[in-house]
Structure 1
């Protein structure tokens, strides 16, 4: 718990709270504008996520030139300041422009912030440290989504947009206390080169597959459960991220002690099992239990993959790892939500959940290949060196 790490917590909460406060508010804002419709809601969310993925792809290149601290500060500014424009204009052009700029800003905070986090944590405590950052980012998402909708319905769109802007802009004050260009020193690792390498490509693919399930759960669970069970849906959508947060912490501590590679397969198995139980959409207890099991597996996979990836690169590659992991997260969720809708239209929701569970199990192949490759190269990664240092001589 160093001072720079505590300052990093401030920027994590600021970026996450700003993003999630408006995530469900802006689509409703666009839909309620004169001439609005449901197509507008989809357009603004699509623009936000498209810009986020694009920003994640270019962020490592920018970080190599200006440093993580500068990029994080710029990201917080781009995330916060444009939200103020929503208080003065309701035109679709303005809303789309705000979403595109905020998406870029959020991407910069994810990539630069993630790389900074890895540089601030000792390698032997990296699993737990990354899990703690995940908790700090997860709590604002749990609170921000419902709070943003509540504020918009009770106080109007202006106050919630202002709040989202201020929470990001105020957190910029913590950025000068963080390390800057020195964290990005050394030859940078290109994002496409990193994706092609098995050491990073395999964990990225595994996490992307599990993120597909996460996008499906948050998008379609309210539609799949029979009408009249809104309480069940609310409970399921609460226990899923709560279980993910708790299991991510557990997995991080476990990874520091015994290594992260052994957690990937159990995380995948739990994720698939949870999706399979969710296929029982007519059984309220099964829906809540399935969401909890999936959340636990997803949290384990989150922690294991990100810890493995950081352990396999030097400090100059932290930005690339952060970008790859976040692209897998966002792209997986988006692809899952889009693909599941098409499949469910033909098979129905229960069978679509079963097929998603089977899809998740396909990630066992790269997971097992990755573990076998790691065994063939002992004590070559940061994770292995830390584990070796703990062994009695």
Structure 2
């Protein structure tokens, strides 16, 4: 498989300096180039007036290739939510979402084109896996979000400022199945300029459906990112159907790995739970979930399901959702319901890409592996 072209964001700062030297330029040009990309969010040679005119185009061509081409951009919530569909160099499609809140600006990024985990209620899972994204392809989504905040068409910037403050790896793909690129992307996102974008590690969330060995590996990285576990059921019977990887690592194993992560990092684990009518929203499942989580450093994020077209899966009724919340809270567990955004713009992960992809080209999900 052809790899994406080499990009500045694929490289650490020392590697960038070496790459610039190999191109016949002085090493400090790498820092200048990095400040333009990570500090000013530009890859246009015309903007790089502090570089010699003769060097700009060559350096940009070699180290700042355009990785994302926008196919569509849809906005809702009075411009506070913007979903972007990107075409990659090989034609693969990925999505990212920019969300403005009163106190922050959050970017939801994809880590894979498609997903191989095969969760039946997820549009991305039904599309199958095309390939992993490179580190730079992940970072480029956040840089694109920064640019979007500055376009004339952008809505009034959030009170928190005119930059992305939070990044969540909750777009297309299973982040921990693309472990190396995701961890490198986290470091690019959080290293200070010119090394990276300078976002706080504590404002980055990495999600997983429960790849236990990769969770253990993440706990040893020395990062302070939030781990979000997409649990979706507290019992193995339901989770085997909703999250096929549960046949490899059961609920108890996944939660044990999550508690080890919390112990190693001191960071509260987020339990993601999509409420699906008559599938996982029964009162006894709420009680079981609460009992499993009680006493741990954890927060439950209940997600009203955004149904995909033609799917048998649909959201729980409001009264059922309210009871589910109260039963979990009765166990002393912090629980909130996620703010639902983007329903009118194919907001569920993978929906926009699915609409842009002819059905005959979609690939069947591959069975999960036991190693990250």
Task: State TM-score, norm by structure 2.
Answer: 0.27
Task: State TM-score, norm by structure 1.
Answer: 0.26
Q: Which has the higher helix share?
A: 1
Structure having greater relative contact order (Cα 8 Å, sep ≥ 6): 1
Q: Which has the higher strand share?
A: 2
